[in-house]
Structure 1
Amino acid sequence: MKFTLKDFDEKARTGLIETGRGQIHTPTFMPVGTQGTVKAMSPDELKEIGAEIILSNTYHLYLRPGHEIIHQLGGLHKFMNWDKPILTDSGGFQIYSLSSLRKITEDGVEFRSHIDGSLHFLSPEKAMEIQVSLGSDIAMAFDECTPYPAEYDYAMKSLTLTTRWARSCKQFLSSLQPSAFSHQPFLFGIIQGGMYKDLRKKSLEDLVEIGFDGYAAGGLSVGEPKEEMYDIIEFIAPLMPENRPRYLMGVGDLMDILVAVENGFDMFDCVMPTRNARNGTLFTSRGRISIKRTEFKADADPLDPDCDCYTCRNYSKAYLRHLFLSKEILSMRLNTIHNLYFYLDFFRKMREAINSGTFKEFKRYWSEILQAKAVG
């Protein structure tokens, strides 16, 4: 991986990540393709709207159809017909969300499948084996996601375990023979430590000592108040290595993204645009719209007159409302095309603002729109 910083507007920055499967302009948003598909979208449609990288899920693909199957069929890229970069998370967050179905040990996590209740054990080495088998371009180190709230002692124990597992992940990848797999991923370490700044700093320092291709802040957007999340973002971002990509995991609210970019984060992922699309909530340049509202029943205008996506170029709000209320599959597709286009276009414009030195004005403009009451 080669990461080149292009421009700065105070702490906000643009850059370029170069991988064997393509370039990624930062700040970047990664559409979430949990099970080897971004819901309702084809790979060609993702490329058309400007997606440069997607995220897939180690936990889910391990359980179904199985990483061995995907490896036998040529890897995840061939399996899903996507030839650009893929980042795979390690499965730590998904296992964290199982709560009562998991048991954490020093060596890994024992858990029961949410699909059939079968018993499994995921270790740092296993998480790496799965991601390498999938053919991931960027793999995430296996971590324990610290819950909110968490007592200091628990957060300390959690980050210590995460650091130990991160070292095991690095050692596993380093031990692989070049011929063992056709493609070896870049590896990102994950900073934990809950809402405790001294623990976040220690976690980061430990990871930097091990050495990773990029660094991610995990354990945020897990139920904490916005003020606490912003406090950690503002604290940890400037401490992260300047010459490595900085990834804020699972944060997709656009206001949160503006705060994070303002402080120097580069990479983001979230199900927010796709999940909201399927539920009829659409992002526009005038605020969020709930397409199910009665006032759109005979509205002949496009969803967003300032948007150039396929949906806005071809369909009215009345038609989108009709599709949604009729529970038509096309509703999910058109809504998702729009929301993802909106997000990726938002990031394009944000990069332009940083490059032109107008990020503050960009943030002020969008903050007013995003904090206003949703339209409809």
Structure 2
Amino acid sequence: MDRTSAAKERFRNMRLVEEYDTQDPKDHDLVALPLLMKRTKVIDIVAARGIIFALAQSGVCASFSRVSVDGSDNFSSLKCISTSIKYILEGQAEAGFALFESESLKWPGFVEFDDVNEKVLTYSPQDSVYKVFDLETYALLYSISEKNVQDIKISQGIMLLIFKKAKSHVPLKILSIEDGAVLKSFNHVLHRNKKVETIELFNEKLLVKQKNENLQILDVRSDELIEVEFITPSGFIFLYEKQLLLTFRNRDVSVWNISGELVTSFEDHHASDPVYITSDQELIISYCKADTEEDQSIEGNAGSINIRNILTGKCIAKIKASDDHLKEEDCSSGLGNSKQRKNVVDEELEDITALFYDEERNEVYTGNIHGLVHVWSN
């Protein structure tokens, strides 16, 4: 069986099998904090060892997350907690330990977890210092206290510091992600009086796009510069293993190689819709809204979960409302409120706000604007 056929078989006959609710009326912490009682959309989902972690916009986290907002915390400041899955399975979410307690992470401060390089980047606006920690041990590796840093971009093994733009250029520095050593410092020449729409770093390629200008692709090692026609997208995803770039604009998804050449493109996905890229970077799983009159006449307001081959753009499977027939049956679960329902699949595919694919269990998890999480399995 070839890889395409195997992928088709993997997603064949996927249907809704369970529903979880991030709202637990028995949670006394939520009663004490009325803000957490408000039902809000699910903004992120991850899974590990059979446990689903869903984070709602209100700060409520079902089954606890490695990075979460705790009920007793001050919401004006970000708090990070690391909790072992062992403790979560034992119902001891409070057994975790706080991270980065010395850092002031009030907005516009942030913490960014970089699984590619196994690093954590924090920014404390109080003293304008960036810090890099080891993701495994949380040990501080080094600090960056450069002045006038506007943004930081992280790529495999390196980090790009973008400084405040001058009239005709933007100062840039490339650092080693391991120890913060400066590998290169240079000024990238800009078109005067043209807005800089994006600056990105993809391995050793610097991507710079100004309004109404071509995309510039600069090899930071050889200084070779390529310019290609390119409409600024609303989102990027870098596929490091495949050396490809995914761009999102309106309903269009395009795949580019590192030379700026279009590999393939497909339509039906909005840039704001949630996506998941498989670990081999061969499939993109995305929620696609039914927002055309033709779609709505067929499926109502329900969208679909589409599984596509990234290199060819070919849709190999779809999870649709019309595919599902559920039985009215309660089922127990260690993760909170769970039940199977009948004739609700169209509703569960209307307003999906988060999506995750568990590659080990071959299950798709989706979250919606009502704070509900759904499991799709075959």
Q: Same fold (TM over 0.5)?
A: no
Say which one has the larger Rg.
Answer: 2
Comparing both structures, which one devotes a greater share of its residues to helix?
A: 1
Comparing both structures, which one devotes a greater share of its residues to strand?
A: 2
